[in-house]
Amino acid sequence: MTAESQKNERYNAREAEPRWQKAWDAAGIYATKNEDPRPKYYVLEMFPYPSGRIHMGHVRNYTMGDVVARYQRAMGNNVLHPMGWDAFGMPAENAAIERKVHPKGWTYDNIAAMKKQLQSMGLSLDWAREIATCDPSYYKHQQRMFLDFLKAGLVAREYRKVNWDPVDQTVLANEQVIDGRGWRSGALVEQRDLYQWVFKISDYAEELLAAIDTLERWPDKVKLMQKNWIGRSEGLLIRFMLDARTTPGGETELEIFTTRPDTLFGAKFMAISPDHPLATTAAAKNPKLKDFIDECHRMGTSQADIDTAEKMGFDTGIRAAHPFDPSWQLPVYVANFILMDYGTGAIFGCPAHDQRDLDFVNKYGLGNTPVVCPPDVDPKSFVITDTAYDGDGKMINSRFLDGMTIDAAKEEVAKRLEAEKRGNRAVGQRQVNYRLRDWGISRQRYWGCPIPVIHCDKCGVVPVPVKDLPVVLPDDVTFDKPGNPLDRHPTWKNVKCPSCGGDARRETDTMDTFVDSSWYFARFTDPWNENAPTDPKMANAWMPVDQYIGGIEHAILHLLYSRFFTRAMKKTGHIGMDEPFAGLFTQGMVVHETYKKKDGTWAMPAEVKIEGAEGARKATLIATGEPVEIGSIEKMSKSKRNTIDPDDIMESYGADVARWFMLSDSPPERDVIWSEEGVQGASRFVQRLWRIVGEIADVKAPDARPAQFSDAALTVRKAAHRALANVSEDIGRLRFNRCVAHIYECANALNEAIASTDTAPAPDLAFALREAGDILVRLFHPMMPHLAEECWAVLGHRTMVATQDWPKLEPELLVENTITLPVQINGKKRADVTVGRGAGNAEIEAAVLALDAVNKALDGKRPKKVIVVPQRIVNVVV
């Protein structure tokens, strides 16, 4: 064999991959029909933001989804596997500002570039269903649903406190405020009251919480995070009487929320939020209080500010009466640690059993009285100084509650205050509170879905009539000034009122982009529908998504919003179910080591040469030879420059190698370390499979199945079917790293069988090898589809492996005629025993007791006990 022909025998991914992609496309095998008698299977990966280029995280995510799609297709299902673009958002506007390009052009250019990249990965996607959320044909239906939700009472317009960036002139999300400053402008963020459109997600708090337990194929971690986010807590609303002589406007009552009514006799003060109406009216008459409230507002909202903030209060002079003792007066403070938007924005303070309250009284000298005494502590000597006690115990210093458990005391207080009426209302009322807030969707941005309402001075807020949808974003906008270009677009903004025909203005806020991604999965079921967001018949047939795959970073917002949105769509007749995602899988990140140059800047992996063995690895810059420090392994990011360009990998190794490595090294839920060695290992395996399959193809096998198989042939058949059983089990559970290991084992076994045959194999072995080769190729097809097609052709098939059924398992090949059991003596392995398949426990025990190692250990004595675990192990207790 010449060197040239040897070279030609290497698998050439660069040539083969585009060829098969074209062939699949021409055959239309990934286009899914809605009418199909087979069972449906909907697999979806979180759609990307079109930033311009795909990154390794996308490669990992979409590879996993593609494995599931191809496997489910082979299992005989009608598979829906679509792709689209989460195309609205700030980066497009930033590009417009920085590079003087239009957000629309920028976005569609990016989509085109990224689509090409995704296609080069060989993903089995139905591109005919492609959608982009920035397209009027998509957001038209979103506007329609906004109007439906409005009619159904699921949308409200609220006057809300928001983070306002005075330079960028927009509302910022809490995550965009860093140390009290806007993340882009660096300007001091102001608290501002603005009208905001909100979705009433809190109406569904209880339902969203309760239904979490029905999500069987969701990770526990995500379910727990959503539970905590919804944050249910049971407590008591209590109306405290105020001394009207002390209140600014003659107010007689203050309503508070507490989860600890049992500690009512430990109360030392009341506190209200700086934003509480009572604080506002009191401040109007008291300039010093106004100064204090202003100072509270200046305080940052960032985490660091909150962590270091001191508890501060201002005594308003208002006095409240204890609900169980009118003569017991409590001072009412305005305090900086009381949030207006939780509970009623007011509390009673029990310093002995709440750390914040204790810090507060210690500063203002109000003292504390313990009312819960820990078990085994003498109540007389129980004193609280710097640390509040929030554990279990018995009630003390609490009059009629003394001696009760905390739970009993809570119940007693609730019962008494519910029974006590003031006016026609009870003094106390049990209430469930949630941490979950309504979802504010107003954004003062251009590149988003316009909110379809019109403001009329006469008629107020008027919905845009459905026939006038979509409200299309105008193209002729400029970004030379800060703020929302829609606000200064005269012909778009100024319109006639649909109700009275008078002069009116369009709403210029656009929707949060999380709205766009809260229903795209339903749109994929019928993306051609011009008349409605969905055809409920098709949506109900395809939904819920059987397997959704994406990053853990969406554990709360996107996934919770989608759960809410699906319920809202159900209420408005667009879909017939509550839960959008039956199965959820959150994949880990792609990480890479970092390289730090002498000057403190980072070098990219492509710029660095690595030498030396593990433990003594050295890195130098290829260009200059300058040594660089090998740093920690971190998430691939632009700032650390430790990114690998998927295009480079596909160019030099091919898509299949990238796909295989992504699946092979780590369990899919954990981070995977991208390494050059790992990719090379994957690349070697591709060539190895190609060689093994080539050698199998060279074997001359009979067409007819032999009546008998020799031991060598049986070994081959067993290896193939064991791999088939194992891969089938693991692929269904998304344990791709184990699938990879099973395929390696199978390939190794076939390689060994070929290597140990010097002459042409006997007909039965040849038949077994061909059969095993067919199985092997179909097993790795979901992971490496191009190589699999090429191998399938080499094995003489005229069909595409992508359209083949999953191999049929012959279960009898998994059963051995004899089994070898480990033999333990006192729990330590000392020998093996081989018995027949059907051997009973008595027979096994006799065989074990005849072993030399056992007799030596027994030394003539009788064993105390012999434990035989069928199919597993034998333990002899001496």
Partner RNA sequence: GCGGACGUGGCGGAAUGGUAGACGCAAGGGACUUAAAAUCCCUUGGGAGUAAUCCCGUCCGGGUUCGAGUCCCGGCGUCCGCACCA
324-363 binders of RNA (CB under 7 A): 336-340, 342-343, 345, 347, 354, 356
**Min dist. Cβ of residue 277 to RNA (A):** 14
Smallest gap, in angstroms, from Cβ of residue 712 to RNA?
16
433 is a site residue for RNA (CB under 7 A): yes
Q: Taking the complex as a whole, how short is the minimal distance between the CB of residue 225 and RNA, in angstroms? A: 4
CB 807 within 8 A of CB 775: yes
Residue from the set 216, 677, 758, 812 that interacts with RNA by CB under 7 A: 677
Residue 869 buriedness (CB in 10 A; 0-12 / 13-18 / 19+): exposed
Q: Which residue has the tokens 């105020």?
A: 242
Which C-beta is closer to RNA: that of 28 or that of 612?
A: 612
Please name which of 23, 68, 11 lies closest in space to residue 800, comparing C-alpha atoms.
Answer: 23
CB-wise, 48 or 313, nearer to RNA? 313
Min separation Cβ 746 and RNA, Å: 10
Whole-angstrom distance, CA of residue 643 vs CA of residue 637: 6
For the chain, count helices (H), then strands (E): 27, 39
> Which is nearer to RNA, 544 or 668 (by Cβ)?
668
Contacting residue, 160, 239, 311, 489, with RNA by CB under 7 A: 311
The set of residues, in sequence order, having a beta carbon less than 8 Å from that of 28 and lying 6+ positions away, is none
Distance CA 650, CA 659 (A): 10
Least distance CB 303 / RNA (angstroms): 6
112 or 877: CB nearest RNA: 877
Q: What is the distance between the alpha carbons of residues 740 and 88, in angstroms, rounded to a whole number? A: 38
Q: Shortest gap between Cβ of 760 and RNA (angstroms)? A: 19
Cβ closest to RNA, residue 647 vs residue 816 = 816
Q: Does 680 bind RNA (CB under 7 A)?
A: yes
Among 98, 216, 307, 378, binds RNA (CB under 7 A): 307
Q: Rounded distance, CA 337 to CA 311, Å?
A: 6
Asked if 415 interacts with RNA (CB under 7 A), we say no
868, 845 contact by CB (below 8 A): yes
Is residue 822 part of the contact set for RNA (CB under 7 A)? yes
The dihedral built from the CA positions of residue 33, 572, 456 and 442, taken in this order, carries a sign that is negative
Compute the radius of gyration of the chain from its Cα atoms: 35
Half-sphere exposure of 541 (CA within 13 A, CB side): 19
The yes or no reply on residue 466 touching RNA (CB under 7 A) is no
> Binding to RNA by residue 435, rule CB under 7 A?
yes
Q: Which of 526, 448, 548, 663 is nearest to 46 (CA)?
A: 548
Q: How far is the CB of 315 from RNA (least distance, A)?
A: 18
| DSSP-derived 3-state class of residue 603 | strand
Q: Does 173 bind RNA (CB under 7 A)?
A: no
Return the HEC string of 372-408: EECCCCCHHHCCCCCCCCCCCCEECCCHHHCCCEHHH
Identify which of residues 348 and 479 has a Cβ nearer to RNA in the complex.
348
DSSP helix/strand/coil, 182? strand
Q: Report if residue 172 touches RNA, rule: CB under 7 A.
A: no
Rounded CA-CA distance 439/451 in Å is: 15
Site membership for RNA, residue 752 (CB under 7 A) = yes
Dist. CA 388–CA 410, nearest whole Å: 19
Residues 537-556 contacting RNA, CB under 7 A: 552, 555-556
Give the count of residues interacting with RNA (CB under 7 A): 85
Residues from 92 through 151 that contact RNA (CB under 7 A): none
- What sign for the dihedral angle of Cα 823, 825, 828, 831? negative
Nearer to RNA, 224 or 244 (CB): 224
Region near RNA per CB under 7 A, out of 280-288, 706-714, 762-770, 868-876:
868-876
Token pair 């986010």 is at which residue?
229
DSSP H or E run through 242? strand 232-242
Residue range at the interface with RNA (CB under 7 A); choices 147-155, 511-519, 672-680, 699-707 = 672-680
Q: Whole-number minimum distance, CB 849 to RNA, in Å?
A: 16
Is the Cβ of residue 472 or residue 869 nearer to RNA in the bound state? 869
> Binding of RNA at residue 829 (CB under 7 A)?
yes
Q: Report the C-alpha gap between 818 and 301 in whole angstroms.
A: 70
How far separated are the first and last CA of the chain, in Å rounded?
64
Q: Which is nearer to RNA, 291 or 676 (CB)?
A: 676
- Binding string, residues 629-668; x marks residues near RNA by CB under 7 A: -----------------------------------xxxx-
Which residues, 607 to 626, sit near RNA by CB under 7 A? 613-615
The verdict on 202 binding RNA (CB under 7 A) reads: no
Q: Which is nearer to RNA, 523 or 659 (CB)?
A: 659
Binding-site member from 405, 499, 710, 824 for RNA (CB under 7 A): 824
118 or 318, CB closer to RNA?
A: 318
Q: How far apart are alpha carbons 614 and 637 in whole angstroms?
A: 24
In the bound state with RNA, the residue whose beta carbon lies nearer, of 55 and 742, is 742
Judge whether 649 and 670 are in contact, CB under 8 Å.
Answer: no
Q: Smallest gap, in angstroms, from Cβ of residue 393 to RNA?
A: 16
Question: With binding defined as CB under 7 A, does residue 299 bind RNA?
Answer: yes
Residue 309 contacts RNA per CB under 7 A: yes
Considering the complex, state which of residue 354 and residue 774 has its C-beta at the smaller distance from RNA.
Answer: 354
Which residues within the stretch 731-750 sit at the binding site for RNA (CB under 7 A)?
Answer: 735, 737-738, 740-741, 744-745, 748
- Whether the CB-CB separation of 95 and 49 falls below 8 Å is answered with no
Phi, psi of 788 (to 5 degrees): -65, -40
Neighbours of 452 (CB within 10 A): 24
For RNA, which residue of 18, 678, 694, 763 counts as binding (CB under 7 A)? Answer: 678
The distance of closest approach from Cβ of residue 800 to RNA in the complex, given in angstroms and rounded to an integer, is 27
Q: Is 47 in the site for RNA (CB under 7 A)?
A: no
Q: What is the DSSP string of 248-264?
A: TT---EEEEEES-GGGG
Closest CB to RNA among residues 3, 383? 3
Q: Does 855 bind RNA (CB under 7 A)?
A: no
Shortest spacing between CB 163 and RNA, in angstroms: 13
Rule CB under 7 A: is residue 673 a binding residue for RNA? yes
Q: Which two tokens stand for residue 563?
A: 């759960």
Closest to 819 (Cα-Cα) out of 742, 745, 873: 873
Residue from 173, 244, 284, 306 in contact with RNA (CB under 7 A):
306
Instruction: Give the residue with the Cβ less far from RNA, 449 or 555.
Output: 555
The answer to whether residue 430 forms part of the interface with RNA (CB under 7 A) is no
Name residue 673's beta-bridge partners. Answer: 591
When the beta carbons of 659 and 735 are compared against RNA, the nearer one is: 735
Q: Where are the beta strands (DSSP E) in 406-546?
A: 421-422, 425-426, 428-434, 439-440, 442-443, 453-456, 460-463, 494-496, 503-506, 510-511
Query: Among residues 351 and 452, whose Cβ is nearest to RNA?
Result: 351
Cα 814 to Cα 718: distance, rounded to the nearest angstrom:
6
Site residues (CB under 7 A) for RNA, limited to 218-277: 220-221, 224-225, 228-229, 231, 233, 235, 257-260, 273
Q: Report d(CA 258, CA 267) in Å as an integer.
A: 12
536 touches RNA (CB under 7 A) = no
Q: Does 715 bind RNA (CB under 7 A)?
A: no
Which two three-digit tokens encode residue 6? 């040897």
